[in-house]
Structure 1
Amino acid sequence: MALLTVGALAGCSLLPTAEAEQKPIDVGTTDTVTSLDPAGAYDVGSWSLYSNLYQSLMTFTPGATRPVPDAAKWCRFSGEDLRTFRCELRDDLRFPSGRRVTAEDVRFSFDRIAAIKDPLGPLPVLDTLKYVHAEGRTVTFELSTPDATFPYKIATGAGSIVDSRRYKPDRLRQGTSVDGTGPYLLNEYVSGRKAVLVPNPHYRGAVRQQSSPVDIHYFVDPKRLGKAWKAGRLDVAARQMPPEDIKELSSPTATGVKVMANPAGTTRVMAFNVREGSAMHRREVRQAAADLVDRPALARKVHHRTVSALYSLIPQGMSGHTTTFYDRYPKPDPERARARLAAAGVTLPVDITLGYSSGAATDEETAELRRQLESGGLFRVKTVRQEWTAFQKSYADGDFDAFCIGWVADFPDPDTFTAPLVGQKSALHTGYRSARIEELIRSTQRNSRRARAVTDFHAIQRIVARDVPMIPLWQKKEYVLGTETITGTQYLSDGTGVWRLWRLGRM
């Protein structure tokens, strides 16, 4: 008996009306695209672009909590053990070259992620995938362990389908060409500056409306994004405007702007390198750091109350949320931290490097965290700021003792805040391992009725609060600004990991 069966949505092509005469919608963001190749990136900037240029077998419609078919006619589990998942591919999909998409292309797309094993790639998302088989128009996924969340995972950027004749099986594609079957084609791309998207007239799938051409403008920091918005150069501003600008534009007196506050699962954590040789290798040192962090001060002083203090891995509003860090470390307590370090025989001060990358108020945030950690002379902190791609490589290589990083939900399920963060194949490469957490993660994934997994998610977070491989700092809504003439900004992002540029239009 199938435990999850999703019927196909009738596909309609995107048929742009007088495309050449349409003025592109200018969208600004501070996102960074690590790679145009889906096998080489697992970050929000890259995946936001992928959701427009590539197709996955499944996708999420606005407000949905379960995926629906996109490149697939249907998908379902076979049997009751949640180990075999099958999809039948649509018949009318074509790559930009005109070649028909085959089940073999789908198999190839997943196999190359496993073969390349890029440290910045999406392999951690596919941690339960054992192998993929293609026969006719059917794709069969065999899983190493039962995983009710697998349909969610293949609806993300990790499930992007590429042309097996244009991409190498064992290395990333270089250059700026993209061969996907998504709602848009990439007409031009300048790394770190601009992506020009035009509607794909041959798209078939879950998207049911016409779309406008879009120019995405990438900014190196929120202040420059804010300046471009105020200068009237943008129709839409997404991640991340400066906190003070959000506060000002969200006021009742603000005019000429629509501010959408989507309750997306966006969090920020301070993660620790727990490998031997790091200053944060010992649990007592990490617990002492947890004794010192003042989340309300970060929210008030740095982010102008546009964020909320977070005391667990899973954010408030999502099933499985707890306050385990508040239970163990209810308020900043330098004396408790000192006693903890003294009992462990730790020499003071503890010298650490704290790495971070650009983002909304990251300089101010890091300075405040440094002040908090250095209070009482317990830590001596050296801060290191790097460009996003270099930063990713540095924390993966263990160059920092601690690093601050944002985390955006890949899909609407608490698994996206546990397995990729504290599982044995963590995307953060902290070196943290816990057999009990691994056991609990697998237990949560065996539950097709997700509400029944809440007890295990609570247990995971209690262990994390004890071991402190990372400290949750805050969560926030995702703000999207649009001029009064732009429609669809409320659908741009909603915590499902899909960036719906095709929902934007002009009045």
Structure 2
Amino acid sequence: MNRKTLVLPAVVGLLAPVLAACGGSDDGGDAIVVGTTDQFVASKDAPAPLDPAIGYEAGVWNVLRQTVQTLTHIPRGGGAPAPEAAKSCAFTDTENESYRCTLRDGLTFADGTPVTPEDVKYSIQRVLDIKDESGPIGLLANIDTMETKGDKEIVFHLKTPDATFPYKLATPPAGIVQKDKYPAKSAREGFQVDGSGPYTMKPEVEGDQVTKVVFTRNPKYKGDLKVRNEKVELDLFPDAAAMGKALDDKKIDMMTRTMSPEQAQSMLAKPKDGVKLTEMPSLAISYLAFNTDDPAVKDKAVRQAIAQVIDRGAVAKSVYGSTAEPLYSLIPSGITSHTTSFYDRYGEPSATEAAKILDKAGVSTPVKFTLHYTTDHYGPATKAEFETLAKQLNASGLFQVDVKGTPWAEYRPAQMKGDYAVYGMGWFPDFPDADNYTAPFLDENNFLNSPYRSSVAENTLIPQSRREADRSAASPAFDKLQDIVAEDVPVLPVWQGKQYVASLDGLTGVEWSVNSSADLQLWELGRGRDLPEDGVQGEFEEVVLGLDVPVEGHRG
């Protein structure tokens, strides 16, 4: 989700707890103040962390979604994408290879410059041209050509059929940017983000690191979102404890990524007066990944034996308590086509069965390797999780495993270079469809830069699944993809997070402010009243997108 390490976008308990208090802004305004442990740092190797063509992490996307407008968006209640910067979008052929969008009337950037189809084309082409190796290019790589027509229309011609394309146009890399502010062939360095979205933004920076982002309602915004506040401040904290203290001191109104499991458990066990805690669906997952070219795990029997030994339930219970649950497929519960392929294949954890797998393959034991994890990206419980996994593997007598933590700024580049045999990652979906839990790991230019290849997955099953406009009809292909992952184990799902939202009386819209993909939707927040509509927001032409995607669960 890199992002979504998206991944992801990322979060360790994969919680998006939200706590409201009586905060305020430095300028004395009535800003809603939101806390996060996400960090935005510019470095020599990553000078442009907030460029839509570069940034592919959950925290980065949470900034971009507030400021950079996309042609489509996922509606408040979930379901198929709806027009956003566009007033209408639809496939124009039965093969789902040609997609046409018509822009809204009077659409402008925040500075008043008109938004044109050429701007849309420019914005997406620069993602394809920059082609950042750890960026979001995979979401748009299926675009063959783009054709503008007049001052309102743009047509996307795809290389292969893709019924999920409207979802991809709803992601930040498809955001519309200005030519004079974003170079065509290189990234925009620094932390400033400009667009036509619901807010303008101003980062506060110390050294090479952002400490706060101030979002101010964009009066020129025209789109499908209703903005319910004038200003939101995103305050960045070094860890969950510091963020929690700020909440206790009423310096923030809302606490998001990432609460520690202990903080969530404490609130569950001892509710606070005036605080409502609600569990909401979450589509974020945690998994182990393998460099299948590394000698330690090149033999798939080793990876299968690891899958046979680990006890997901024990990891979830001992480390995360009630804030996570075991996961037996890359496709999580709550997404159409979810199965339990790993449980179906391996059943209950068993060192005896794992020994049989290794013995049959002629693998000598103990198998030695290091479990790598990042110390500062997925939350404070990551270390305990990996120590628990190592303990389970070592207790089997089949493995000799060490554990090593590395800061994210070093971790991600090393992972991409193939320095780690076995490593942990998290995934926040780019969009709520089974395709986004399979293609990023199994398709060409996969997010992990993994050497693993399945010709059946890449050349047959993924293209087959994308032809189905009715996503439930794609389930047979996704069933086979999940079985392939359980057989070859290029990645190993561990747990799926639960998401909690807690709020104090007086802050409205909290239930909509974080969706099941852990995306912040700051425009939903208010203080007991909605701003009057200006006659533009929420106004769009109802169209048939040519895509009916049933999504189990709640997308808000």
TM-score normalised by L of structure 2: 0.84
Matched letter for residue 258 of structure 1: K
DSSP-derived class of the 2:53 partner? helix
Q: CA RMSD in A?
A: 1.9
Matched letter for residue 504 of structure 2: T
Per the alignment, residue 521 of structure 2 pairs with 500
Per the alignment, residue 38 of structure 2 pairs with 31
Worse overlay, 489-498 or 443-452? 489-498
> Are the aligned partners of 2:284 and 2:518 in contact in 1 as well (CA < 8 Å)?
no
Displacement, 1:33?
4.3
Per the alignment, residue 159 of structure 2 pairs with 144
Cα separation, 2, equivalents of 1:32 and 1:401 = 26
Indicate whether 1:468 and 2:489 are aligned.
Answer: yes
Query: Deviation per CA, 1:381-429, whole angstroms, max 9, x where unpaired?
Result: 2323223333222211112112211111221211111111222222122
Per the alignment, residue 15 of structure 1 pairs with none
Cα separation, 2, equivalents of 1:486 and 1:381 = 47
Picking from 124, 135, 139, the partner of 2:149 is 135
> Are the aligned partners of 2:53 and 2:132 in contact in 1 as well (CA < 8 Å)?
yes
> Are the aligned partners of 2:286 and 2:493 in contact in 1 as well (CA < 8 Å)?
yes
DSSP-derived class of the 1:287 partner? helix
Displacement, 1:209?
3.5
Cα separation, 2, equivalents of 1:280 and 1:116 = 33
Per the alignment, residue 163 of structure 1 pairs with 178
Per the alignment, residue 96 of structure 1 pairs with 110
Query: Deviation per CA, 1:286-345, whole angstroms, max 9, x where unpaired?
Result: 101101111111111100121111111111121101111001121221122223223323
Cα separation, 2, equivalents of 1:253 and 1:502 = 27
Per the alignment, residue 200 of structure 1 pairs with 218
Per the alignment, residue 405 of structure 2 pairs with 385
Per the alignment, residue 423 of structure 1 pairs with 443
Cα separation, 1, equivalents of 2:147 and 2:407 = 39
Query: Deviation per CA, 1:428-450, whole angstroms, max 9, x where unpaired?
Result: 22222111112111111100011
Indicate whether 1:334 and 2:355 are aligned.
Answer: no
Matched letter for residue 300 of structure 2: R
Cα separation, 1, equivalents of 2:237 and 2:403 = 23
Per the alignment, residue 261 of structure 1 pairs with 279
Per the alignment, residue 547 of structure 2 pairs with none
Matched letter for residue 371 of structure 2: L
| Aligned length in residues | 488
Worse overlay, 164-173 or 250-259? 250-259
Indicate whether 1:447 and 2:465 are aligned.
Answer: no
Matched letter for residue 472 of structure 1: P
Cα separation, 1, equivalents of 2:32 and 2:76 = 20
TM-score normalised by L of structure 1: 0.92
Per the alignment, residue 302 of structure 2 pairs with 285
> Are the aligned partners of 2:71 and 2:101 in contact in 1 as well (CA < 8 Å)?
yes
Displacement, 1:367?
0.8
Alignment of 1:350-389 (within 5 A): 350-357=367-374, 358=376, 359-360=378-379, 361-389=381-409
Per the alignment, residue 17 of structure 2 pairs with none
Distance change >3 Å, CA 253–CA 110, structure 1 → 2: closer
Cα separation, 1, equivalents of 2:488 and 2:307 = 10
Cα separation, 2, equivalents of 1:148 and 1:266 = 23
> Are the aligned partners of 2:325 and 2:498 in contact in 1 as well (CA < 8 Å)?
no
Cα separation, 2, equivalents of 1:33 and 1:450 = 36
Matched letter for residue 62 of structure 1: R
Per the alignment, residue 428 of structure 2 pairs with 408
Displacement, 1:452?
0.6
DSSP-derived class of the 1:195 partner? strand
Displacement, 1:21?
6.4
Matched letter for residue 404 of structure 2: V
DSSP-derived class of the 1:354 partner? strand
> Are the aligned partners of 2:182 and 2:188 in contact in 1 as well (CA < 8 Å)?
yes
Query: Deviation per CA, 1:5-35, whole angstroms, max 9, x where unpaired?
Result: xxxxxxxxxxxxxx98641111112234471
Per the alignment, residue 249 of structure 1 pairs with 267
Per the alignment, residue 270 of structure 1 pairs with 288
DSSP-derived class of the 2:87 partner? strand
Matched letter for residue 474 of structure 2: A
Picking from 221, 243, 254, the partner of 1:236 is 254
> Are the aligned partners of 2:282 and 2:518 in contact in 1 as well (CA < 8 Å)?
no
Displacement, 1:96?
3.2
Matched letter for residue 36 of structure 2: T
Query: Deviation per CA, 1:450-469, whole angstroms, max 9, x where unpaired?
Result: 11111111111011100001
> Are the aligned partners of 2:284 and 2:496 in contact in 1 as well (CA < 8 Å)?
yes
Matched letter for residue 302 of structure 2: V
Runs of 4+ in 1 over 3 A off after TM superposition: 19-22
Cα separation, 1, equivalents of 2:283 and 2:479 = 18
Cα separation, 1, equivalents of 2:297 and 2:387 = 19
Displacement, 1:272?
1.1
Query: Deviation per CA, 1:183-220, whole angstroms, max 9, x where unpaired?
Result: 11112243353211111111110112442311112233
Worse overlay, 293-302 or 93-102? 93-102
DSSP-derived class of the 1:203 partner? coil
Worse overlay, 483-492 or 494-503? 494-503
Per the alignment, residue 22 of structure 2 pairs with none
Picking from 321, 336, 339, the partner of 1:319 is 336
Matched letter for residue 400 of structure 1: Y
Cα separation, 1, equivalents of 2:372 and 2:146 = 38
Per the alignment, residue 216 of structure 1 pairs with 234
Displacement, 1:496?
5.4
Q: Which has the higher contact order (CA 8 A, sep 6+)?
A: 2
Worse overlay, 469-478 or 254-263? 254-263
Picking from 479, 482, 490, the partner of 2:511 is 490
Matched letter for residue 283 of structure 1: K
Distance change >3 Å, CA 335–CA 220, structure 1 → 2: farther
Per the alignment, residue 62 of structure 2 pairs with 48
Displacement, 1:181?
1.0
Picking from 199, 203, 208, the partner of 1:184 is 199
Cα separation, 2, equivalents of 1:122 and 1:404 = 20
Displacement, 1:267?
1.0
Per the alignment, residue 303 of structure 1 pairs with 320
Cα separation, 2, equivalents of 1:108 and 1:273 = 36
Picking from 427, 436, 448, the partner of 2:456 is 436
Displacement, 1:498?
4.2
Picking from 164, 169, 177, the partner of 1:154 is 169
Distance change >3 Å, CA 236–CA 315, structure 1 → 2: same
Picking from 475, 478, 481, the partner of 2:499 is 478
Q: Name stretches of at least 5 consecutive residues in structure 1 with no aligned partner.
A: 1-18
Per the alignment, residue 110 of structure 1 pairs with 124
> Are the aligned partners of 2:168 and 2:431 in contact in 1 as well (CA < 8 Å)?
yes
Per the alignment, residue 6 of structure 1 pairs with none
Distance change >3 Å, CA 166–CA 192, structure 1 → 2: closer
Picking from 45, 62, 71, the partner of 2:76 is 62
Cα separation, 2, equivalents of 1:21 and 1:200 = 19
Cα separation, 1, equivalents of 2:121 and 2:271 = 54
> Are the aligned partners of 1:273 and 1:431 in contact in 2 as well (CA < 8 Å)?
yes
Per the alignment, residue 9 of structure 1 pairs with none
Percentage of matched positions with identical amino acids: 38
> Are the aligned partners of 2:226 and 2:524 in contact in 1 as well (CA < 8 Å)?
no
Matched letter for residue 286 of structure 1: R
Cα separation, 1, equivalents of 2:194 and 2:328 = 42
Displacement, 1:252?
6.5
Per the alignment, residue 121 of structure 1 pairs with 135
Displacement, 1:249?
1.1
